[in-house]
A and B are shown apart, each in its own frame.
Chain A
Amino acid sequence: MSFEYLAVFAPLLGFLITFLFGQKIGARGAQIVTCGLMFVAAFSAVALFNSVILGGTHYVVPLAEWISSDFFVVNWALRFDTLSVVMMCVVTIVSTCVHVYSVGYMSHDPHRTRFMAYLSLFTFAMLMLVSADNLLQLFFGWEGVGLASYLLIGFWNSKDSANSAAMKAFIVNRVGDFGLALGIMAIFVVFGSVDFETIFAAVESKKDLTVNFIGFDIHAMTLIGLLLFTGAVGKSAQLGLHTWLPDAMEGPTPVSALIHAATMVTAGVFLVARFSPLFEYAPIALMVITIVGACTALVAATIGLTQFDIKRVIAYSTMSQLGYMFFALGVSAYGAAIFHLMTHAFFKALLFLGAGSVIHAMSDEQDMRKMGGIWKKIPFTYAMMWIGSLALAGVPLFAGYYSKDMILEVAYADQSWFGNLAFIFGITAAVLTAFYSWRLILMTFHGKPRADKHVMEHIHESPPVMTAPLAVLAVGAILSGAVFYNGFVGGAHHGDDHGAGAAAIHADVTPHAGDEEHHGTPVEASVTHEGEHSAAHDSQTSHFAALHDRNMFWQNAIQVLPENDTVEAAHNVPFWVKKLPILMSGLGIALAYIFYLLVPTLPALFARAFKPLHSLFFRKWYFDELYDAAFVKNTLRLGHLFTKSDRKIIDRFGPDGAASASSFVARISSRFQSGFVYQYAFVMIIGLVVFMLWLAPIDVLSIGEHIRNLLGRSE
C-alpha cells in the first residue's frame, strides 16, 4: 500500500476499529491500535515529504466520485503538493505525540477508549482537509474537525461548562462556515467548478470580473476572498469569532494541544494560503485579512496578560499567534505564514502538553494563583516549558525566532499603511507575548508554593509516556526554525534567475485546466505537472536542495505576484527592523521578572492604577457579554415570540378561527330549533318572502320605488 493512502487513512482505520470494536479490544487495545496507526501515518507523511517536496513533484490521487449534479461535479481525491504535505507532516507528527501523551494523561479516565477514537477521527478529518483537491472536500474536512473539536471539548460530558463550551465552539464555527459555504457557491458560479486546479488556472482571466451579490456589483475575487476569509475567521478564532477558543479549554489538555493550538485552528491559515493564487488578485480582501490579523494579535495578547487559568493564557497566546499568521498572509507572505504555522505547532503543542503535565502533577489544578514553587519537583516539565516559551518569544536559535521575525519583517516590507499597522501591532504584541509567557513560567514554577499541602505532597514528574512526546516536540520547537528557514522563506541566493520572478505565478500552470473535459477527470489532473517535475530535478544538485531554495521548495503550491513578493523584500529591510523584535522580547521577559519575581506587589498596583484598562483586558474586551446581549438573548426572545405567534396569530386566524367560526354559526343556527311552532312558521314565511322577492323580476335599485308605491297606495 502506498504512503498516500496510509498517511490519510491510517487514522480513519484507527478510529473505525476503536469506535466499532472498542469494547472487545479494551482500553489498552484501543491505545495500541490508534497510536500504532498514527505512527504509520506520521512515517508515511515524512516519506511523502521526501518524495514530494525533496523530489520536487506534486500530484493528485483520485479516489471516487462524491457529488455529481449536472456540471456540479465533485470527486473524492487526495492532493499532494508542498503545502498539503507540509501540513500533513505537522498534523501527523503532533497528533502522534498527542496520541502517545494521552495514553498517560487519560490513564484514569473510564472513557479513554472513546477519547483515543475521537483523536484519530480528528486527525483523519484534518488530513482530509489539508489534502483536499476541491473546496467541497475541504469543507468536509473543515466540518469534520469541527465535529471532533465539539466531541472532544465536551468530552467530559457530565460537566455543564464543558457542554456549553462544546456547543459554543460548534455554533460560532458555523457562523464562519456560513461565509465559507457562500464562498464555495460564489466560486462555483464564477468558475463553474470547485476544483482547485480549474479555479487557479482561471483566476487570471477573471481578475477584473464583477458579479452581483445581494444587489451590489462587487469585484468577484474580492467577494470570494472575503467570504472564504469569514470561514477562516471562525475556524482560526480571529477577532470577532474568537470567543469559542478560550472556552474550548474545557476539553482535556491533549485536545487543546492538538486541536486548539497546533492543527485545527490553523486551518484558516491553510485555507488562505491554499487560495493564494486567488487572493493575489483580491487586494482589498488581503487588506482586511491584514487588519483583522493585526488586531487579533494585539487584542489576544492584552487579554493573555491578565488571565489566571494556565490553559487560557496559552489559548490567548495561540489566538495572538494566529493573528501574526494572518497578517503575514495579508501581506502576501504565504510562505512565512505557513512557516510560522509549522514552528508554532511544535512549540505551542509543547507548551500545552507541558501545561498538561503541570496540571497532571497539581492534581488537576489549572489556576496559576494556586501554583508556584514547583520547578524543582518537576524539572523536566519545567525545562520543556522554558523551551516552549523561548520559542514563542522568538529568542534567537529557537524556532519562533525565525518565523516570527520573518512575519514582522514582511509586514514592514509591505510598505503599505496596513502593513505598518500590522508591524506596530505585531511589535507591541511581541513585548506582551514575552511578558505573559514569563509571567506564566514565574507564577507556575517560582515563588512560594500557593497550593495546599496535600496537593504539594503529590506533585510528581509525569511518566515517560508523557515526557517522551514532550521531548520530541521540544526538538521541533528548537530545530524546525533553523532547518527549514531557507526552504520556507529563504532569500534568493542562487543567482538572479531565481529571483522574485521565479516566485511569480507560473504561466505554465495546468495549461489546459480550463477545458470542459477537465472536470471530473482527476486522473488527468494528476499528470499535469510532469514538465516542472523534471525541471526541478535538473537544477537539483543534492537531494536536499529544496530546503535551500524557496522556489524549489514551494514549487507552485503557493503563488505570489512579483510585485507582492514581500518575503523577498523582507530580506532587505533595515537593520533595526530585524533586531527590534529580539529587543522587544527581551524587554517583555525583563518586565515579567520585575513584576513577578523581584517586586511581586507591582501587578496588583498596576491593576488598580489602570483599573478600566485592566478590567477591559481581564473581561476579554467584553465580547462574551456583548454577544450574549446582542445575539443569544435576542435569538431566544425571537424563538419565544414566534412560538407565540404560531398559536396567537396563525392558529387563531387559521384552523382554530375556522373551527370556532363554524361552531359559532352552528350555535346561532341551533337557536332556531326552539321547538315553537310559531317561530318555525315565522321563519318559513320570511324565507318564502325572500324567495319570492328573488324570483320576482325586481330591479334591486328600484326597490325603494316599489316600497314607495306600496306606501302610497295605503295612504
Chain B
Amino acid sequence: MFDLPVLSLMTFLPLVGVLFIVSVRGSNEEVSARNAKNTALFTSLFTVALAVYLAVQFDVSDAGFQFVEKYSWFPSLGISYYMGVDGISLFFVLLSAMLVPICILASWHAIKKRVKEYMIAFLVLESLMIGTFCALDSFLFYVFFEAVLIPMFIIIGVWGGPRRVYSAYKFFLYTLLGSVLMLVALLTLYVQLGTSDIPTLMENPVARDLQIWLWLAVFASFAVKMPMWPVHTWLPDAHVEAPTAGSVILAGVLLKMGGYGFLRFSLPMFPEASELFAPMVFWLSVIAIIYTSLVALVQEDMKKLIAYSSVAHMGYVTLGIFTATTQGIEGGIFQMISHGLISGALFLSVGVIYDRLHTREINRYGGIVKNMPKYATVFMILMLGSVGLPGTSGFVGEFLTLVGVYQVNTLVAVFAATGLILGAPYMLYLYRRVVFGKQMNDDAAKMSDLTKREMTLFVPLVALVLYLGIFPGYVMDRLHPSVDRLITLYESGLQKGEERRLAALSGDASTVAQIKPAAGMSEQEVTFVPAIAPSYAGKEDLPMPIINYNE
C-alpha cells in the first residue's frame, strides 16, 4: 500500500545531507561555510517535501499506525526497527520537518564560527527528532529520544552565550536522571511482556503495582522534558544561552517530546497509574501555569520571559492529557502544535532584534514600532497567539483543554482558567516595553525593519497560527480517530485493572495466579504473554525484508 518508506526517508535524509557536508570541501573557510549552509537548507527542504507527501497520503479515517515499516533488528531479542505514524505523531513529524529549514535560514548570518559543524548538528537533530516521533519500538524510541540530547547539548555548549557551559550541564543533569529511570522502565516492560513493540505494549497494561513504579519512572523523564514544575529551571537557562535557532527547536519540538511520551507511554501503558496520579499532575500543572506566569512578569530578559511562558503553556498540555477526555487530550495536542509554532516564532522574533543589537535586555529597546512597523505587526500577532486570543491557534488548544478539565474537576479548571488572566500581562508588558513607548535608545531606534529573508521565516508560521485558529479542522480531523483509539485503550486498560481487582477479591485462584499483581518485579510472576496486536496485523502481511544490522 505504501510503497515509499517515507518515514525512514525523512529520518535518514538529513544524515545523507550530513555526509555531503562532511565530504564536500570549499576552497576556503567562507566557501565551505556557504556550501554547508546550502546543503543543509536543501536537505531540510527535501524533508519538507517528504513531509508534504506524508500529510497528503495520510489516511484521515485510519486510527491506527500508517506508513508502517518493520524490520527485524535484533532477531534474537525480538527488537525491531519499527516505524509508523498515527494522527497524534503525524503533526509532530510535520512540525519538526517544518521548523528545521526555518532554523537553518534563521542562522544564515547569525552563525559565523564553525558553520559546517553547526549545520551538521542541526541535520542530525532533525533526523533524531523525526525518528523519535516515528519509532514504534520502545528501544528504538529510547535511542532516538535520548540521542536528541547530544546535538542539542552541543548546540548550546558550542554556539551558546557566555554562560553556555552552566546551562548545558544543567540541561544535561536534569535529563540524565530521567533517562536512566526511563531505561529501567522500558527494560522492565520488555522483561515483563516479552516485547518492545509499542502498539503491543499499549494494549497490554501490566499489573497495577508495577504500573505505579513504571509510571513514576517514565514520568521523571517526560516531566523534565515538558518541563513541568518544579523541574523546569533548566529551560530558562538553556533558552537564554542557546543560539536563536536552538531556542526555536527547543521550544518548538523538544518540549513536545515530553507530551508525546505521556500520550504514547503513560496513558495507554499505565492507565491505572495515570488515573491514580492524575490529580498530582493537575496540581503540578496548575502551579506551573500560575507560578511561571508570575515569574515571567518580572523578567528583564526577553528569552527568559518567553521560556517561562512556555512552561505555563505546557502546563495546559499536561493538564489536558491527564484528563483522559477527548477535549482534554485533543486540546493538549493542539496546544503543543500551536505552541510549537508560536513560541518558535517568538524566539525567532527575539533573534531578529538580538541580531541587530546583541542584547536580550528588554530595557535596551523601546518604541521600535516607528522604525520596524512590519516587525511590530508580526510580533503583535504572535503575542496575541501566545495570549490565546480566539482566532489564533493558541485559543483552540487552551480552551479545549479547559473544557476537558472542567468535566473532570471544576476546582482545577478554575485555577487553570486563571491562566487566561495571568497569561496576558507579561506578554503585553513585554510588547509594550519593546515595541511601544518612547524611543529611549538611539541604537534601537536605528534598527532596520525585517529583511526579505526574515519575512520568509515568519510568513509560514504566522499564517499557520491564524489559519489553525480559524480553521483548526485540518488538525482536529486527523487527531480525532487516533485520540479516540487512545481513550479506548486507556479505558479498556482501566477496565482490565478493575476486572483483575475483582477477580483477586473474589478469590478465584486460577485468575489470581495468572494476573496477580506483581508485588516486586520478580520474573516468576510474569505469566501471560500477549498476542501480537491484532489490529496492526494487517500491515504485517507485507513481505518484510529482514535486515540484520549486526552484520
A interface residues (Cβ-Cβ under 8 A, vs B): 64-72, 136, 139-140, 143-144, 147, 150, 154, 157-158, 160, 163, 166-167, 170-171, 174-175, 177-178, 181-182, 185-186, 188-189, 212-215, 635-636, 638-640, 642-643, 646-647, 650-651, 654-656, 658-659
Is B173 within 8 A of A157, CB to CB?
Answer: no
Is B390 within 8 A of A182, CB to CB?
Answer: no
Is B233 within 8 A of A181, CB to CB?
Answer: no
Chain B residues in 8 Å Cβ range of A160? 437-438
> Who on chain A is nearest to B366 by CB?
A158
Could you say which of B233, B390, B471 contacts A650, with CB atoms under 8 Å apart?
A: B233
Q: Is B407 an interface residue (CB 8 A)?
A: yes
Given contacts A69-B330, A175-B421, contact A643 B298 (CB under 8 A): yes
Is A186 within 8 A of B327, CB to CB?
Answer: no
- In the assembly, what is the distance between CA of A659 and CA of B233, in Å? 14
Chain A residues in 8 Å Cβ range of B532? none
Q: Is B63 an interface residue (CB 8 A)?
A: no
Is A177 within 8 A of B420, CB to CB?
Answer: yes
Interface centre among A170, A175, A640, A646, by most chain B C-beta atoms within 10 angstroms, is A646
Q: Is B516 an interface residue (CB 8 A)?
A: no
- In the assembly, what is the distance between CA of A139 and CA of B398, in Å? 14
Least Cβ–Cβ distance between A318 and chain B, in angstroms: 24
Residue pairs across A and B with Cβ atoms less than 8 A apart, 18 shown, are A65-B471, A67-B472, A69-B326, A69-B330, A70-B330, A70-B484, A143-B389, A144-B391, A160-B437, A170-B424, A177-B420, A181-B417, A188-B406, A189-B407, A642-B294, A654-B174, A655-B170, A656-B170
- In the assembly, what is the distance between CA of A150 and CA of B424, in Å? 12
Least Cβ–Cβ distance between B185 and chain A, in angstroms: 21
Could you say which of B230, B327, B411, B418 contacts A214, with CB atoms under 8 Å apart?
A: B411
How many residues of B are counted as interface, with CB atoms below 8 angstroms from the partner's CB atoms? 62
- In the assembly, what is the distance between CA of A638 and CA of B292, in Å? 10
Given contacts A72-B327, A140-B390, A177-B420, contact A186 B396 (CB under 8 A): no
Least Cβ–Cβ distance between B206 and chain A, in angstroms: 29
Given contacts A170-B424, A639-B298, A650-B230, contact A182 B389 (CB under 8 A): no
Is A643 within 8 A of B476, CB to CB?
Answer: no
Least Cβ–Cβ distance between B169 and chain A, in angstroms: 7
* Interface set, chain B 389-425, CB cutoff 8 A to A: 389-391, 395-396, 399-400, 402-403, 406-407, 410-411, 413-414, 417-418, 420-421, 424-425
- In the assembly, what is the distance between CA of A158 and CA of B368, in Å? 10
Is A64 within 8 A of B471, CB to CB?
Answer: yes
* Interface set, chain B 276-331, CB cutoff 8 A to A: 291-292, 294-299, 326-327, 330-331
Is A158 within 8 A of B367, CB to CB?
Answer: yes
Chain B residues in 8 Å Cβ range of A157? 369, 435-437
Interface centre among A69, A170, A639, by most chain B C-beta atoms within 10 angstroms, is A69
Which 4 residue pairs spanning A and B have beta carbons closest together? A70-B326, A639-B298, A185-B406, A140-B390
- In the assembly, what is the distance between CA of A650 and CA of B400, in Å? 31
Q: Is B473 an interface residue (CB 8 A)?
A: yes
Given contacts A139-B390, A188-B403, A650-B233, contact A167 B428 (CB under 8 A): yes
Chain B residues in 8 Å Cβ range of A143? 389-391, 395
Chain B residues in 8 Å Cβ range of A69? 326-327, 330-331, 400, 476, 480
Interface centre among A70, A177, A214, by most chain B C-beta atoms within 10 angstroms, is A70
Is B402 within 8 A of A181, CB to CB?
Answer: yes
> Who on chain B is nearest to A158 by CB?
B438
> Who on chain A is nearest to B411 by CB?
A214
Least Cβ–Cβ distance between A500 and chain B, in angstroms: 38
- In the assembly, what is the distance between CA of A66 and CA of B467, in Å? 11
Is A635 within 8 A of B294, CB to CB?
Answer: yes
Chain B residues in 8 Å Cβ range of A189? 406-407
- In the assembly, what is the distance between CA of A167 and CA of B292, in Å? 20
Chain A residues in 8 Å Cβ range of B480? 68-70
- In the assembly, what is the distance between CA of A144 and CA of B406, in Å? 24
> Who on chain B is nearest to A125 by CB?
B391
Q: Is B254 an interface residue (CB 8 A)?
A: no
Q: Is B432 an interface residue (CB 8 A)?
A: yes
Interface string of B435-475 (1 = CB under 8 A from A): 11111000000000000000000000000000000111100
- In the assembly, what is the distance between CA of A139 and CA of B295, in Å? 28
Known: A213-B410, A639-B296, A650-B233. 13 other contacts (CB 8 A): A68-B473, A69-B327, A69-B330, A72-B403, A157-B435, A158-B437, A160-B438, A189-B406, A639-B297, A643-B299, A647-B233, A655-B170, A655-B173
Is B413 within 8 A of A185, CB to CB?
Answer: yes
Chain A residues in 8 Å Cβ range of B439? 158
Is A182 within 8 A of B417, CB to CB?
Answer: yes
- In the assembly, what is the distance between CA of A656 and CA of B477, in Å? 45
Is B406 within 8 A of A182, CB to CB?
Answer: yes
- In the assembly, what is the distance between CA of A576 and CA of B267, in Å? 70
Could you say which of A65, A154, A185 contacts B436, with CB atoms under 8 Å apart?
A: A154
Q: Is B231 an interface residue (CB 8 A)?
A: yes
Is B476 within 8 A of A158, CB to CB?
Answer: no
Is A158 within 8 A of B428, CB to CB?
Answer: no
Is B331 within 8 A of A651, CB to CB?
Answer: no
> Who on chain B is nearest to A172 by CB?
B421
Q: Is B53 an interface residue (CB 8 A)?
A: no
Q: Is B48 an interface residue (CB 8 A)?
A: no
Chain B residues in 8 Å Cβ range of A71? 326
Is B472 within 8 A of A66, CB to CB?
Answer: yes
- In the assembly, what is the distance between CA of A182 and CA of B411, in Å? 11
Least Cβ–Cβ distance between A142 and chain B, in angstroms: 8
- In the assembly, what is the distance between CA of A157 and CA of B433, in Å? 11
Q: Is B384 an interface residue (CB 8 A)?
A: yes
> Who on chain A is nearest to B299 by CB?
A643
Chain B residues in 8 Å Cβ range of A177? 420-421
Q: Is B429 an interface residue (CB 8 A)?
A: yes
Least Cβ–Cβ distance between B416 and chain A, in angstroms: 10
- In the assembly, what is the distance between CA of A647 and CA of B428, in Å? 25
Q: Is B219 an interface residue (CB 8 A)?
A: no
Is B436 within 8 A of A163, CB to CB?
Answer: yes
- In the assembly, what is the distance between CA of A143 and CA of B421, in Å? 13
Least Cβ–Cβ distance between A643 and chain B, in angstroms: 5
